[in-house]
């Protein structure tokens, strides 16, 4: 008999979590204005709000914390981090930052100006925010297939070469760089193929443009290339990552995802001019160039985490768990963005809560229902997160309306996944009775989903 699959690690430290009653949750959620970001974490049983900064570090990473060099300038921890990044990516210039959006802020302060257009495969919301705040346009070039949640194709995160060509043919002079987000979070944690990265590079070269990777989940992307794309099965994750980055000019990185640290990020590039242009903004916003908002110990843990999570076994354990939750939902017929993504399952809320009108935010309503059912905290990646159009101020109902269940790395077991699946099934079973959603009572002008206040209709 073939041995079953099991995790590539064992557990050395645990943290208790607590259940609550439905009555308690009704009150808590009301107090939180039906926005799960406003809930104190102790009121959550299983927390799938994000996979960002919520992973469990390894014993090696914790050991690295003890060896942090906290020198203000020139700390050995910085050089360890820089060497690791250069080895994995080929990028020579490294600017540490305290997280991913800080990397965006520093680099875009140099690169993005009013009137610019930044084409990309589904810009993450902070990325879009940093572009739009500079009165530039985040121009989506994601493949149309990503919009059909039930279509099962291997690389649903791809950029559409024709859309990229079209925007460059018309506006090349306004494009400071092309952005490729790996994996494509907004489209469902879906990967981008090596073939697609090559195509984007070729088009960029034809127009003399540079390519920037938003690399928060690049290792998960490399895993999908290895397991799904012809010609890569026998290559290591590190070899695949190296080839991926060979098609880019630079990267921003939220290390809170694939480097499995609680806080951290960086910019890396092969171009001296990008480094020189951005470094002053690092000093201004983040800190001196050899720490950029991070402690020495955090840079040590980051370097070790990057190394560990570009090994196949760690990624295999992680991505199989996401797939496991997907299989459980399949048993119950619950529709999600197919195939299962690298870091999360994205429930297609408009296909579940068919009686809730879009103006009453189906995915947010499903987020609320799941929390009330079992104290499980997901997160809306839908109409609220999409913000209003900066020009018309209308809600943007054009995209998908999803409930994201993001799975922290090395934190929950498959028993927890079973609880999530059954809780969702219970909500799914009473979906016909859910006819009303939520309405906004207060919202911020940009990135409203963190602080929005809602009431039940
Ligand atoms: N880019 C991508 C693709 C992201 O998913 C995120 C964060 C960022 C950039 C910004 O990085 O949080 O370190 O400042 N995503 C988190 C999430 C917040 O829940 O998906 P950050």
Tens digit of pLDDT at every position of the chain (457 positions): 999 999 999 999 999 999 999 999 999 999 999 999 999 999 999 999 999 999 999 999 999 999 999 999 999 999 999 999 999 999 999 999 999 999 999 999 999 999 999 999 999 989 999 999 999 999 999 999 999 999 999 999 999 999 999 999 999 999 999 999 999 999 999 999 999 999 999 999 999 999 999 999 999 999 999 999 999 999 999 999 999 999 999 999 999 999 999 999 999 999 999 999 999 999 999 999 999 999 999 999 999 999 999 999 999 999 999 999 999 999 999 999 999 999 999 999 999 999 999 999 999 999 999 999 999 999 999 999 988 988 899 999 998 999 999 999 999 999 999 999 999 999 999 999 999 999 999 999 888 999 999 999 9
In angstroms, what is the span from residue 216 Cα to ligand 1's centroid? 7
296 lies in the same domain as 317: no
Residue 165, in any domain of the structure: yes
Residue 105, in any domain of the structure: yes
93 lies in the same domain as 40: no
268 lies in the same domain as 285: yes
pLDDT reported for residue 446? 82
209 lies in the same domain as 322: no
Q: What is the CATH number of the domain that holds 353?
A: 3.90.1150.10
Number of domains composing the chain: 2
pLDDT reported for residue 271? 98
122 lies in the same domain as 256: yes
- Dist CA 304 CA 260 (whole Å): 9
Regarding the beta carbon of 127 and ligand 1, being less than 6 Å apart is answered yes
197 lies in the same domain as 96: yes
Residue 11, in any domain of the structure: no
- Dist CA 96 CA 228 (whole Å): 32
Establish whether 214 is a catalytic residue.
Answer: yes
| Cα→Cα distances 275→90, 105, 173, 249, 271, Å | 15, 14, 22, 11, 7
239 lies in the same domain as 278: yes
Ligand 1 atom 13, closest CA: 100
Domain boundary among 308, 328, 344: 308
Regarding the beta carbon of 337 and ligand 1, being less than 6 Å apart is answered no
Q: What is the CATH number of the domain that holds 118?
A: 3.40.640.10
155 lies in the same domain as 278: yes
Give me 361's structure tokens. 């935010």
Establish whether 72 is a catalytic residue.
Answer: yes
47 lies in the same domain as 143: no
290 lies in the same domain as 362: no
**What is the gyration radius of the CA atoms in the chain, in angstroms?**
21
328 lies in the same domain as 418: yes
Q: Residue 234's domain spans which residues?
A: 59-308
pLDDT reported for residue 247? 98
From 37, 128, 216, 292, give the residue whose CB has the most ligand 1 atoms within 8 Å, as the site to mutate.
Answer: 216
Phi, psi of 31 (to 5 degrees): -60, -30
Residue 7, in any domain of the structure: no
In angstroms, what is the span from residue 185 Cα to ligand 1's centroid? 8
Average predicted confidence (pLDDT) for the chain? 97
Ligand 1 atom 1, closest CA: 124
Among candidate residues 124, 155, 177, 361, the one labeled active-site is: 124
pLDDT reported for residue 391? 87
Residue 444, in any domain of the structure: yes
163 lies in the same domain as 35: no
> For residue 42, with 0-12 CB atoms within 10 Å meaning exposed, 13-18 middle and 19 or more buried, which class applies?
exposed
């Amino acid at each position: 008999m073939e041995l079953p699959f099991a995790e590539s690690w064992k557990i050395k430290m645990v943290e208790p979590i607590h259940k609550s009653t439905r009555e308690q949750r009704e009150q808590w959620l009301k107090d939180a204005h039906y926005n799960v970001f406003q809930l104190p974490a102790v009121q959550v049983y299983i927390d799938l709000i994000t996979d960002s900064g919520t992973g469990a570090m390894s014993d090696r990473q914790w050991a690295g914390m003890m060896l942090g060099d906290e020198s203000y300038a020139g700390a050995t921890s910085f050089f360890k981090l820089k060497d690791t990044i250069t080895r994995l990516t080929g990028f020579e210039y490294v600017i540490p930052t305290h997280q991913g959006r800080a990397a965006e802020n520093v680099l875009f302060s140099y690169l993005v100006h009013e009137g610019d257009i930044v084409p990309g495969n589904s810009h993450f919301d902070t990325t879009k925010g940093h572009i739009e705040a500079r009165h530039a346009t985040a121009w989506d070039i994601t493949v149309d297939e990503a919009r059909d949640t039930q279509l099962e194709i291997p690389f649903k995160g791809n950029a559409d070469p024709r859309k990229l060509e079209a925007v460059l043919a018309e506006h090349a002079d306004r494009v400071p760089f092309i952005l490729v987000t790996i994996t494509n979070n907004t489209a469902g944690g879906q990967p981008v193929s090596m073939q697609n990265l090559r195509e984007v590079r070729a088009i960029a070269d034809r127009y003399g443009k540079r390519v920037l990777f938003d690399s928060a989940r690049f290792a998960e992307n490399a895993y999908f290339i290895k397991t799904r794309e012809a010609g890569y099965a026998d290559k290591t994750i590190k070899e695949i990552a190296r080839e991926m980055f060979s098609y880019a000019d630079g990267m921003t990185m939220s290390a809170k995802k694939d480097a499995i640290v609680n806080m951290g990020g960086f910019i890396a590039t092969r171009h001296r001019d990008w480094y020189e242009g951005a470094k002053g903004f690092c000093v201004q916003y983040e800190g001196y160039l050899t720490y950029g908002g991070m402690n020495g110990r955090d840079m040590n843990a980051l370097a070790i985490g990057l190394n560990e999570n570009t090994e196949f076994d760690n990624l295999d354990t992680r991505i199989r768990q996401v797939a496991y939750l997907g299989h459980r939902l399949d048993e119950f017929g619950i529709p999600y963005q197919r195939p299962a993504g690298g870091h999360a399952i994205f429930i297609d809320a408009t296909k579940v809560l068919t009686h809730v009108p879009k103006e009453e935010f189906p995915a947010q309503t499903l987020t609320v229902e799941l929390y009330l059912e079992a104290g499980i905290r997901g997160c809306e990646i839908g109409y609220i997160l999409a913000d209003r159009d900066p020009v018309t101020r209308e809600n943007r109902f054009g995209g998908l309306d999803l409930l994201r269940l993001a799975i922290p790395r090395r934190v929950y077991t498959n028993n927890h996944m079973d609880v999530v699946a059954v809780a969702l099934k219970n909500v799914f079973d009473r979906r016909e009775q859910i006819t009303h959603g939520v309405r906004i009572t207060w919202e911020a002008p940009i990135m409203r989903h963190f602080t929005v206040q809602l009431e039940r209709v």
